[in-house]
A and B are shown apart, each in its own frame.
Chain A
Amino acid sequence: MTESSPQPELSVIVPFYNEEDNIVRMHAAIIGALEPLGTSFEMVFVDDGSRDRTLERAIDLARSDSRVRVVKFRRNYGQTPAMAAGIEQAHGKVLVTMDGDLQNDPADIGHFLAKIEEGNDIVVGWRHNRQDKLVSRKIPSRIANWLIGRVTGVPIKDNGCSLKAYRAALIKQIPLYSEMHRFIPAMASIAGPRIAEIKVRHHARQFGKSKYGLSRIYKVLLDLMVIKTVASFTSRPLLWFTLLALPLLLLGLFAIGYSLAGWLEAPGPLPLPIAGSGVILFVGGLIMVCSGVLGELIYKLGDLREHQFARLTQKVRSADRG
């Protein structure tokens, strides 16, 4: 790809799915918010396989504004792939992601930039006066956020808020897949970033209709289990699997020892159920440790390297201070 302009300071990434009413307003709102700041910026609009006129509107915008880049998906993939594609295609030094439904206010972007300049790597929005239904949206979300904070150790009040800002060098290294956009801060914690959270405005939907429901809670719970394992133990799978196997091994040894002790006291046939259970537990534990060894192999052959993250944060920091 030929680079026509120098690297902009800021990329605003907005995924759109059937938002023909909102995309033009969004564009105007972003320009209205960013032009007074005086930084160079670009907009990456991701069309997530919309079936209405969103794409045509986006191309019209791109035709009149060279700062707009439109990324077209062949079909609807969902929010995480849309965000990931936007991040992949953005050239800015700082990336801001937001929803295409006008519920986030581009006027807040300035605060995010200020926080990034303070030295944070990730700035997360918090919709403190959320304009959504209480029972179906707010309460499940509060429980989920509490749980995510507990499990991942990254306490954030509002993981669901799409308005976030990242240092590009950091976020481009974080693998985003499945429905991980809700966990980007937790995923990013493998790189040890500095995370700040600021309050943002939140508007009720004006046009179009909301695309989420209660059904996603179940998926969030499963993803949470995945995130815990990959984010905290990827680089040392053997340790993680040994930890899992430890209770099995100990219990197995205990049962074997118990039955042997009984046999020493009164020699005779070993009590099969207890001795057998002991052997099963112990061998099961051993197999799990072996899985850990396999895990080490997988990690070694994978394309993810922890030292990449280490080097990366150092570079970011020194560039900042310098």
Chain B
Amino acid sequence: MDSPATMLGPEVSVIVPVGERQADAVRLHAEYKASLDSLGRDYEIIYVLDGPRREYSDALHGLIERGERITVVSLTRQFGEATALMAGFEHSSGRVIVTLPAYHQIVGDGIGKLVAALGDCDIAVGRRWPRAGSVLERMRRGLFHRLLGWITGVRLNDLGCGARAFSRRVLEEIQLYGDQHRFLAVLAERQGFVVHEVDVAQSKDDRFTGLYGPRDYARGLLDIFTVFFLVRFTKKPLRFFGMVGLTIFGIGSLLVVWLIAEKLLLGQGLAGRPALLLSTLLVVLGLQLFALGLLGELIIFTHARAIKDYQIERVIQFSRPSSQDRAVR
């Protein structure tokens, strides 16, 4: 921040994380640029290359040579889209952040809709609508999002859409990693940001023609599992580990009691009962799970001051005669 030009900076920063799935850089850039120009705001475009992507990098440098104003951030290896987003964010300076996929997912003029929606919310996420796809596909999607809404209490309809617009504060407060970019809206909502879903037209090139394999279903389930923990138990580990641990411990102890009762009442020697092995195993495992929960609580407790579970939006106090907001944030 040395010259006035960089201090002012652009108003909108567009971050495009380039991962496995990518479209022709030149065509995509032209499309995004056309719709960004029509916004009538000062903007910058940051491409984040997630891992070595030689061809894409060459294409981008070609664009730079032709005089396009873009920033290219390259990561040493593939870290995942969320990390790429954070890296791009660190190099951005706009008050409004727009993320766009590196392939044709939405029609360009959706960007304007997203940015305009920021007027009365903190984060606007795209929802591809109307959307192509078979009945089965629609059902799968509906089920996934309903399950997610039930678990997190945030009902969204298209987590897979990479087009989002949000104010800078969102990423300043939320640290993303791994695959969490898909849950940015969910996590933001949990932090108290206002989230809106905006219908954007789906690009013709986004048609998915294949069938989803078991791997995609497994991935969806894993996603739900991740969010479940992020949202429910990151601050209360014992509520989870304790529940599971005590259940296992309870089953094990019931078995032990039953075996001992049989020995005392029926005289059946414990030495000949393989069930004894099973029951001790359950008791010990249950206790260990509980102990893990305690360890988790210890982590939370010793870091409680660093991980606040609230965000103050602002502090308002008026000094005596003047009517000035002494805003902290």
A residues near B (Cβ < 8 Å) are 1-2, 4, 49, 58-59, 62-63, 66, 68-75, 77, 81-82, 84-85, 89, 175-178, 222, 225-226, 229-230, 234, 237, 240-241, 244, 248, 259, 262, 271-274, 276-277, 280-281, 283-284, 287-288, 291, 294-295, 298-299, 301-304
In this assembly, does B270 line the interface, its C-beta being within 8 Å of a C-beta of chain A? yes
**A298, B277: Cβ atoms closer than 8 Å:** no
A226 contacts across to B, CB distance below 8 A? 236, 238, 297
* Residue B66, interface by CB 8 Å: no
Contacts of B307 in A (CB 8 A): 177
Q: Are A234 and B302 in contact (CB under 8 A)?
A: yes
* A230-B301 CB under 8 A given contacts A75-B192, A284-B287: yes
Contact of B292 among A62, A77, A175, A291 (CB under 8 A): A291
Those 10 A-B pairs whose CB atoms lie nearest each other, nearest first: A302-B302, A74-B192, A284-B284, A175-B304, A75-B192, A81-B310, A271-B271, A277-B280, A70-B316, A273-B276
| Bound complex: CA A4 to CA B324 (Å) | 13
Q: Are A70 and B298 in contact (CB under 8 A)?
A: no
Q: Do A244 and B303 touch across chains, with their CB atoms under 8 A apart? A: no
The CA-CA distance from A89 to B329 in the complex, in Å, is 13
Q: How far is the CA of A56 from the CA of B226 in the complex (A)?
A: 39
Q: Out of A4, A59, A77, A288, name the residue touching B319 (CB < 8 Å).
A: A4
Asked whether A85 lies within 8 Å of B288 as measured between CB atoms, the reply is no
B8 on the interface (CB 8 Å rule)?
no
In the complex where A73-B312, A75-B192, A237-B298 touch, is A274 in contact with B276 (Cβ < 8 A)? Answer: yes
| Selected A-B contacts with CB under 8 Å, 8 pairs | A66-B320, A73-B313, A75-B192, A222-B242, A273-B272, A284-B285, A295-B295, A302-B298
Is B73 interfacial (CB-CB < 8 Å)?
Answer: no
Chain B 76-92 interface mask (CB, 8 Å, partner A; 1/0): 00000000000000000
Complex: how many Å from CA A302 to CA B308?
A: 15
B328 touches A280 (CB 8 A): no
- Of all chain A residues, which has the CB nearest B191? A74
Q: Interface size of B by Cβ–Cβ distance < 8 Å?
A: 53
Most chain B C-beta atoms within 10 Å of own C-beta, residue among A85, A222, A226, A259? A226
Q: Is the CB of A273 within 8 A of B235?
A: no
**With the chains together, A84 CA to B326 CA distance in Å?**
21
Contact yes or no, B318 A66, CB < 8 A: yes
B272 touches A222 (CB 8 A): no
Are A229 and B294 touching (Cβ within 8 A)?
Answer: yes
**A273 in complex: contacting residue of B273, B298, B302, B314, CB < 8 Å:** B273
Contact surface of B with A, Cβ cutoff 8 Å: 191-193, 235-236, 238-239, 242, 270-277, 280-281, 284-285, 287-288, 291-292, 294-295, 297-320, 323, 326, 328
Interface SS majority for chain A: helix
Cβ A302 vs Cβ B297 within 8 A: no
Q: How far is the CA of A301 from the CA of B298 in the complex (A)?
A: 11
Bound Cα distance A37, B291 (Å): 51
Given the contacts A1-B326, A70-B316, A298-B295, A281 and B280 also touching, CB distance less than 8 Å: yes
Please, how many angstroms separate the alpha-carbon atoms of A241 and B297 in the complex?
13
A71 adjacent to B291 (CB under 8 Å): no
Contact B302 A298 (CB under 8 A): yes
- Tell me the bound Cα distance from A295 to B310 in angstroms: 26
List the B side residues contacting A283 at CB < 8 Å: 284
B294's nearest neighbour on chain A, judged by CB, is: A229
Q: Are B298 and A81 in contact (CB under 8 A)?
A: no
Bound Cα distance A142, B287 (Å): 31
Q: A59–B280 Cα gap in the complex (Å)?
A: 62
Identify the closest chain B residue to A84 (Cβ): B310
Neighbouring A residues of B312 by C-beta, 8 Å: 71-73, 85, 89
Partner of B303, one of A281, A284, A302: A302
| Residue on B nearest A288 in the bound complex, by CB | B291
Contacts known (A272-B277, A277-B276); A62 close to B316, Cβ less than 8 A? yes
Contacts of A295 in B (CB 8 A): 294-295, 298
Among B235, B305, B308, B313, find the residue whose CB has the most chain A CB atoms closer than 10 A: B305
Chain A residues with CB below 8 A from B277, complex form:
272-273, 276-277, 280
A299–B270 Cα distance when bound, in Å, is 42
For B239, B302, B304, B312, which residue has the most chain A Cβ atoms within 10 angstroms?
B302
* Cross-chain contact of A230 among B273, B276, B297 (Cβ < 8 A): B297
In the complex, chain B residues whose CB is within 8 Å of the CB of A276: 276-277, 280
Contact B310 A294 (CB under 8 A): no
Known A73-B192, A175-B304, A178-B309; 7 more pairs at CB < 8 Å: A58-B316, A229-B294, A234-B298, A280-B281, A299-B302, A303-B302, A303-B305
Give bound CA distance, A287 to B290, whole Å. Answer: 13
- B315:A49 contact, CB within 8 angstroms: no
Please name all residues of chain A whose beta carbon is closer than 8 Å to the beta carbon of B192 when the two chains form the complex.
49, 73-75, 77
CA distance A68 to B320 in the complex (A): 11
- CB atoms of B313 and A302 under 8 A apart: no
* CA gap between A277 and B318 in the complex, in Å: 70
Look across to chain A and name the residue whose beta carbon is closest to the beta carbon of B285: A284
Distance, CA A54 to CA B300, complexed state (A): 33
Closest to B282 in A: A280
Which residues of chain A are within 8 angstroms of B308 by Cβ–Cβ distance? 81, 84, 177
The answer to whether A222 touches B238 (Cβ under 8 A) is yes
Question: What residues on B are CB-neighbors of A74 within 8 Å?
Answer: 191-193, 311, 313
CB distance from A308 to the nearest CB of B (A): 11
Give the complex CA separation of A222 and B239 in angstroms.
7
Contact B276 A304 (CB under 8 A): no
Quick one: which of A62, A241, A272 contacts B274, CB cutoff 8 A? Answer: A272
Whether B317 pairs with A66 at a CB distance below 8 angstroms is yes
List B contacts of A178 (CB < 8 A). 235-236, 309
From B287, B313, B323, B328, give the contact of A288 (CB < 8 A): B287
- Bound-complex Cα distance A1 to B237 (A): 35
Closest to B329 in A: A72
Supposing A75-B192, A274-B276, A276-B277 touch, asked if A304 and B301 sit within 8 A by C-beta, the answer is yes
Q: Shortest Cβ distance from A268 into chain B, in angstroms? A: 12
